Each structure stands twice: as structure tokens, then as C-alpha cells.
Amino acid sequence: MKISKTAQAGALESNDVLVTVAPNEKGGVQVQLETKRVILKQFGKQIEQVVKDQVAEMGAEDVTVKVQDKGALNYTIRARVQTALERALV
Amino acid sequence: MKRLRRSLLIISGNNPKHIQDAPVFDPDVVIFDLEERVAAPDKDSARNLVREALSFLDYSQVEVMVRVNPLDTEEGQKDLDRIARVKPGALIIPKANEQVIKQAEGLLTKIEKEEGFPEGSIEIIPILETASGIENINQLISSSPRVTGLWFNGEGLMAEFGTQRTKEGAELYYVRGRVGIACRAAGIDAIDTIFSDGNDYEGLANDASAARRLGFTGKLALDGRQVDTLNTIFQ
Amino acid sequence: MKNILGREIPDYIEGYGEVKPFMGAFANYGERAKASVTLRSVKPGEKKLLASIEEALDKVGLKDGMTLSFHHHLRNGDYVLNQVMAVVAQRGYKDIHVAATGIFPIHEPLVDYMKKGIVTKISVNYISPGPVAKAISQGLLRHPAVFMSHGGRPRAIESGDLHVDVAFIAAPTADAYGNVNGVGGPAACGTLSYAVADAFFADKVVAVTDHLAPYPACPIEITQDFVDYVVQVDSIGDANGIVSGTLTVTKDPVGLRIAKMAAQLINEAGYIQNEMSFQTGAGGTSLAVAAEVRKYMQEKNVVGSFAAGGITGYIVDMLNEGLFRNLFDVQCFDLKAVASYRENPRHQAMSGSLYGNPHDKGAIVNNLDVMILGATEIDTDFNVNVVTGSDGVIMGASGGHNDTAAGSKIAIIVTSLTKGRLPVIKDRVTTVTTPGETIDVLVTERGIAINPRRKDLLEKLKDSDLPIITIEELKKISESLTGVPETIEFTDRVVAVVEYRDGTVIDVVRQAKE
């Protein structure tokens, strides 16, 4: 499934994450993660994988996912990615 | 009234920190609120967050309830559908009347069958927040066997009257009395309205004790600090 | 080589010297000698009052490579360190060793001096997260920084391990002959405990004041017979930065929960009784623990012997309520504490040495019953890190942590289990400040772990309804929330040496890989 517009979900608040999805002209799923260095170094790979898995589970193709993380746990990341993609399809 | 519902900690369904921290305070019940505490544009976000939270975090030590949006709205209908499928302990229905509860009952039976849950495993807690709701309390209670408790929301009633609550709560005595007796006679939980000053522990204790004396079996907690007091008073 | 905690430490560190490895919290005691002091005697009629910092640097004979010391009682409102170092820099001196008891964001000019080689060494007890901490973590300081504890630094000064050439003492009040106190003047800060060892043992001592009082400036904290010169400046500090409002008990429900659990444990373990002594930090959760302990003390009509530490108005209230007979104060955190110290003889100062020096004839920490502490990280051996974050970036430094943990009868770490997504419990902490053998209990909102070494506590609390589990189980709960973190890699370059209170090296901080 391809998305046609940009959409956002979540918030830039402690323990949360602001997810922005947009169509990726270059094709494929690209994740851009912004978070504190100390989180990036310890959980960066894991967070990227969680995002990619959620995108795949929803069958979305050719999207860029910008993830501005404020220390969110995996379930929050999944939920926000899900909501952003649902909003991008409306 | 099988299990204890002395303290019901209510949190916004869109707030990850509160969702994660809720069990830590040892409340008997955690209420995930999709209605009042979630802004209109975020209803879909909150619904997904609560669903993901219930599948990931450990709520085994508490009873999980979710307050859905009014069932005459699209959000409410989506809430009921998506949340029932992750098997909460109960759904809390706002603007409840006999007809609304019967409709919810039907939907839940259908979903339980589809998901393979035991029939009746998801209970219903109607919210009493209107004069007509209180006037028809007995019909409401008997509208479905899933109704195992009633939550009396004083703020809602005051809004209808166009007045405000007082800390001492004299304006609530009649209603509390009515609700307490009706619930006791029906063998269901009577859940009292929130005490909104989080810094006043003495005021909370007085308010909760007053409710207890009128037959209430538990009360809403607005944050973790209120839980211990409520667990003690509704023992 | 590996020290007894399994930390990999070089035998010799360039810019530090030969490494004496940590051998255990109580391994390094016995006979000690104090360094002798060479001083210039002052004849009747000589004047000490100088016109400027410039003149002071001339008179003390400042040279490249000297060690200059400063205290941090003015915290993030301190002007004196910057004032002195600005002149040092301007005059082109190099290779200066700054021995400050505390460094705060206001001391940012140090970063530039580090880059220019004006400052090549820093010794410090407490360094708050900020530009200087970051610069040290990034290796901008030529020689490794040295972190000492509040008790370890005066030990180092008294023994001669740390030789101070010139001590600059920011003095809220001073007279022209060098008597100094911290209770009067626009920058009144209370006790000057951290400056005492410097005053006694430095070659030269310069008091810097913005409030010159008529002679004698009683009550005197540091007497004239230890002071060479006095310099008057317009202002020694910003009052808003010195005492940032009143410190209060947290309203955060999770912090309150942790505090309740900690106090319940203290009570069930039998520590709330007459003659008890108590110390806690200045943060919201630490004070919440004091608030809960206070309730138990009131209920049981307990009168404690003393409360100690950095003192806040909250602890002063407990003194005035009669819950403690006395206070021992190493640092006044707010105006209420300053006023109490000034007015109440039962509120006493304790120098850094009296507070925690392990090598004198008995420090106050030896008489401490209950100690409440924080932690950035703790490992399954109960070793604690308060120096760096998990990425190796410096954001604290020992303070009184390992002193109080060693001396107290029960040392309790209170912390949330995770800080955002960051787990507090690790297999191995990034940097050890305090050894596990001195840490007894870890209290988090999701469970309490008792050090297996404390069989007496485990026995006493076996029927408690507190959620007591093993630290391994607590770590599993943490990982179920955050996931398992990847390990961060470091280079071989040592940017800071962490000394235990006895001067041995308990760990080092290495520069993180980019």
C-alpha cells in the first residue's frame, strides 16, 4: 500500500515520540531517527527495527519515517507509527 | 462484586508516561481514558496507544478498564471495536442509558465470539452523569448482566445543573445516597466521583469516608498519590 | 591491570602518575602523617588588604604549573573562579591545575582555557552536567581530570597527595586582616566547609570578598592566622545562582511512591529509633524520603541525635521541631539553612575533612545510621555510578557518595527503575564511583533489591509486604520495558581518573568512540 501525503502522530514530550511519515520518491522504507546520543548508541538499532517492522506489518511501501524520540518505549513507537500511517491513507 | 475496586486510577490514554507508571501505585483498577482526557484530533492516536500498551506492558496485578467515547459517535464505535479485541476487564460507557447499554452488550457478545473470549468476560460500567440517568438508575443497572458497577460522575451532573462542586460535597448527598443504595441492592460496585485536589490528602480522606458511609465501594483517583488513601478507606 | 572490582585500569596514567588500585572500602587504613606547611609569618603592622586580583597574583608569586584551588559554596552563582582565572589567562600563564571542589555551567570560560593550554589539569569533587563536563569527556583537557570525594579531597590535601599552591577563598564576609565567614554579605552562603582544608594547608591563601566588614568579622569560620591576603571585588557571586529558591519535597507521584517505600523499609529494618542519625540529598525525591521518615519519627516520638549533609530548609524544620538534637552542615543549600546556621548553635558546620576524611581520627560519616543516595547506574554487584551517563559523558562526580556509603549503617539508593528509556540497572556500570560492598539497598518504584551481603536485612524483612526481589529480577523487569541496551564503545584514552575516598583508583573514564 502506498501513502499519498505526509502525516504525523505523537508528541515531542518525555517518554513519547513524534512520528512523521511521507511518501518516498526514491522508493523503499527509510527511517530517520533523532534522539539523545545516549539512547541512540544503546537502542538506535532496536528502534529502527521496531519502526521497520511496524511499517511492514501494515504493508506500507515507499515511505520515509522521521522519528523524533524523547525516550519512548517500543509500544509507543509502534502505536505512533501505526497512527501516522493510518492518517496518511485517509 | 467479586474483586476489590477500591481505587480506580484514571489516566489519559494518550500519555505514555502515565500509562507506564499506572500499575506502580498498586491501584485495584486502572482506567484508560479515551474520552475526556484525550483531545479530539488525538482520539485515533490514543486508541492505538492503549491497544499497544495492553499487549506490551504488565497489567496482571490490576483490573484494566477503558472509558470509550460516547457510543453515538464514530470514535466511540471504533473504540469499542478495537479495544474489546484486546480484552479489557471492563468498558466504561459515558452518557449511559438503557438503550446504549443494550447496544454495547450486543456488540461485545459478537466480538467475544469472534475473538474466542468467554461470553460476558468484558464487563460494562455505565457512567451516571445526568439527572435522567440517575432517575432511571434501576433500569440502567438491570439493562445487562455485564453491568457490575456504576460510576457516579459528580462533575457531569454539576455541569448539567450549571453549578460547581464544593469540597465538602453537601450537594451530592442525595445522589450518593440514591446510587449507594441502588447498587448495594443490585449487588454491584458503587464508584464515587473524583476528588480534584491532588495536594489535599485530608480532604480526600473525608470525601472518601463520606462516600463509603453512603454505600460506595470505591472511588476514582486522579493520580497515584491518592491511591493509598482510597485503598485504606474502602477496605 | 584489573582492580578488585574487575575494572580495567592502566598501571600508570600519563598526566596522573602511578596508579594505586582500589583494594576494598576498608582496606586502606592505619597510620597516616599530615603534610607540613611552609608559610610566611606576618609581623605586626603589615597590611593584608590588596587592591586587586592582579596584585594578589603578583604577591603570591604565581608561576606556570601551579595548583590553584576554589570552593563551590556559591554553586552556579560563583564569580570568583572566573575572575581569578581571567587574570591568570590574560597574563599568559600556562599549565595551571585548577583544584575546584565543584564546577558548574557558570564556569564555562574554563573550556577556552583548556583548549589554550592555560588549564591543563582539573581536580574536582562535583561537576554538574554542562560545558566543562562535556569538554573533559571529549578529551579537551591535556591531563586526565581527577575526581575525588568530599572526604577524599581533604584527605589528599592533608596528606600532601594534593598540594595547593594558592587557595582562593570566595568570602561572603571578610575583614581586612583575613577573618572570613559565610553568613553575612550579599552573597551569604552559610558554611565554608569545603574551603577549610585548603586554608590550613595551601602555601598561600587569598580571601576574595565583596563585603569588607569592620574588624573583626565575627563569627569567624576561617581565622586570620590562615589567610595571607584579602582582595575586595564588586561582587563575588550572583545570589540567584547561589541559592536557587526553596528546595521542596517532590510532588511527582512516582517519586513519592519511591520515598514511601524507602521510609517503610527504614522503619521495618529497625532504624527509626531514639538517637538515630540521618542524611539525605537535596533533590525532590531525597527530601520526600525525609518527609516520610519524619512521619514515622513523629508517630513513634523519636528524637534523633543528628541529621547531616548539605542542609536544606526542610531539614532545618525537622531540627526546629525537635526531631533531631543537632545538624552537621557541610553546605547550605537555601536561605533557610543559611539563616539557621547563623542563628542556631545546634546547627553546626563540618569541614570536608570532618565530614568524610577516612584517614583522620573518625569522620562524621562513621556515626551516620541512614544514608539516602541517588545513582545514574547500578550493577548486579550493587556498584554505583554517579559520575557518567551510560555514554561516558561526565555528568556528576563523586560528591559525598562513597564517603557516606562507607560510613553509614544502611546506605539506600532511591531512583526510578528507568530514566526515560535508559535503564539504571546494568550488568556492569559504565564507571564505578562507589563499590557494591558499601551499598545495601536499591529502592525503585517497581521493586526493592537488598544486597545479598546484608543477610541481616534480608532476615529482618523476610515477612515484609514490600516488593523485595533480587537485583537480577529487577533488571529483568527493567529490560522488559526498555529492551536490552547495546554496549557503548570507548577508546583507550583516559579523560578522568575516579579516586576512591582513600586515594586509590576505583575506575577511570575513557573517551567514547564517536
Of C253, C260, C481, the CB nearest to B223: C253
CB contact under 8 A, C488 and A15: no
Higher-confidence residue: B170 or B53? B53
CB contact under 8 A, B16 and A82: no
CB contact under 8 A, A71 and C483: no
Average pLDDT, chain B: 95
Confidence of residue C443 (pLDDT cuts 50, 70, 90): very high
Interface membership of A87 toward B (CB under 8 Å): yes
- Residue C189: closest CA among C346, C69, C330: C330
pLDDT at res. C82 = 98
Residue in chain B lying closest to C257 (CA): B25
Helix (H) / strand (E) containing C329: strand C324-332
Interface membership of C254 toward B (CB under 8 Å): yes
Region C207-220 average pLDDT: 97
Q: Neighbours of A (≥3 Cβ pairs closer than 8 A)?
A: B, C
Chain B residues whose CB is inside 8 A of the A15 CB are 16-17, 20
Chain B residues whose CB is inside 8 A of the C253 CB are 21, 25, 223-225
pLDDT of B224 strictly over 80: yes
Share of chain B above pLDDT 90, in %: 88
pLDDT at res. C284 = 87
Region B41-68 average pLDDT: 97
Confidence of residue C6 (pLDDT cuts 50, 70, 90): very high
Q: What is the pTM of this model?
A: 0.95
Confidence of residue A90 (pLDDT cuts 50, 70, 90): confident
pLDDT at res. B1 = 44
Average pLDDT, chain C: 96
Of C389, C420, C485, the CB nearest to A15: C420
Q: Burial letters for C89-102: b for 16+ Cβ neighbours within 10 Å, e otherwise?
A: beeebeebbbbbbb
- Residue C79: closest CA among C245, C225, C231: C231
Give the closest-approach CA distance of C376 to chain B in angstroms.
Answer: 20
CB contact under 8 A, C391 and A46: no
Region C476-490 average pLDDT: 95
Chain pair A-B, CB pairs under 8 angstroms:
41
Could you tell me where the DSSP H helices lie in C180-328? Answer: 196-201, 239-242, 253-268, 284-299, 313-320
Higher-confidence residue: A90 or C284? C284
pLDDT at res. B2 = 60
pLDDT of C424 strictly over 50: yes
Region B59-71 average pLDDT: 97
Q: State residue C408 phi and psi, 5-degree precision.
A: -75, 155
CB contact under 8 A, A15 and B16: yes
Chain A residues whose CB is inside 8 A of the B53 CB are 75, 79
Give the closest-approach CA distance of C285 to chain B in angstroms.
Answer: 14
In sequence order, the 6+-apart residues with CB closer than 8 A to the CB of B53 are A75, A79, B16, B19, B20, B32
Region C345-370 average pLDDT: 97
pLDDT of C245 strictly over 80: no
Chain C residues whose CB is inside 8 A of the A39 CB are 420-422
Interface membership of B110 toward C (CB under 8 Å): no
Per-residue pLDDT tens over the stretch C70-103: 999 999 999 999 999 999 999 999 999 999 999 9
Of B44, B51, B56, the CB nearest to A74: B56
Q: How many CB atoms lie within 10 A of CB A23?
A: 15
pLDDT at res. B122 = 97
pLDDT at res. C246 = 62
Region B168-192 average pLDDT: 93
Region C137-155 average pLDDT: 97
- Among B152-156, C81-85, C147-151, C433-437, the minimum mean pLDDT is found in B152-156
Q: How far apart are CA B65 and CA B67, in angstroms?
A: 7
Per-residue pLDDT tens over the stretch C451-479: 999 999 999 999 999 999 999 999 999 99
CB contact under 8 A, C256 and B223: no
C-alpha cell at C322: 525537635
CB contact under 8 A, B56 and A10: no
Q: Mutation target for A interface from B49, B59, B83: give the one with most A CBs within 10 A.
A: B49
Give the closest-approach CA distance of B49 to chain C in angstroms.
Answer: 15
Of B16, B44, B48, the CB nearest to A72: B16
CB contact under 8 A, B56 and A80: no
- Residue C203: closest CA among C25, C63, C399: C63
pLDDT at res. C244 = 60
